Amino acid sequence: MLWTPDLAVGVELIDEQHKMWFEKAEKLFEAGKNNQAKEYVGELLRFLDEYTRKHFGDEERYMLSINYPGYNEQKAAHTAFIAKLDDLRKEYDKSGGNLMVILNANRMVLDWLTQHISNMDKKIGEFAKKQHR
């Protein structure tokens, strides 16, 4: 599942970071499908975790800078998603690097991300556009 233009939020920083997120998540999925080294998958998981935290931080700062009214709802969704990522990493480690764990979890992560962008992040772009009129 790749980033597509219909997932554009309309805020360049956020859109660029979403593209990178999808790119790395796709690499993780491919690595799992191709039975690549557990170390590589672990490395990608760490990157996704760090990148997600950075992206959410940037997105939250942006929302505060435009006084976005849905900030608290977004912050809660971000916190819940980071907890899911933590669980995913723990499950992967506990399973001894079972790649099926990654394949199943990765689908869930991409589905969540797609839904989150479509249902929540797009509203940030719409709000920002109204502010610049």
Cβ-count burial of 50 within 10 angstroms (0-12 exposed, 13-18 middle, 19+ buried)? exposed
pTM here is 0.78
State pLDDT tens for residues 44-54: 778 878 888 99
- Residues of the chain below pLDDT 70: 1, 36-37, 102, 133
pLDDT for res 66: 93
Look at residue 125 and give its three-state secondary structure.
helix
In whole angstroms, give the CA distance from residue 7 to residue 38. Answer: 31
pLDDT at 76: 95
pLDDT at 95: 83
pLDDT at res. 78: 92
Given 3.40.605.10, 3.40.50.2300, 1.20.120.50, 3.90.1150.10, which CATH number is that of 21-131? 1.20.120.50
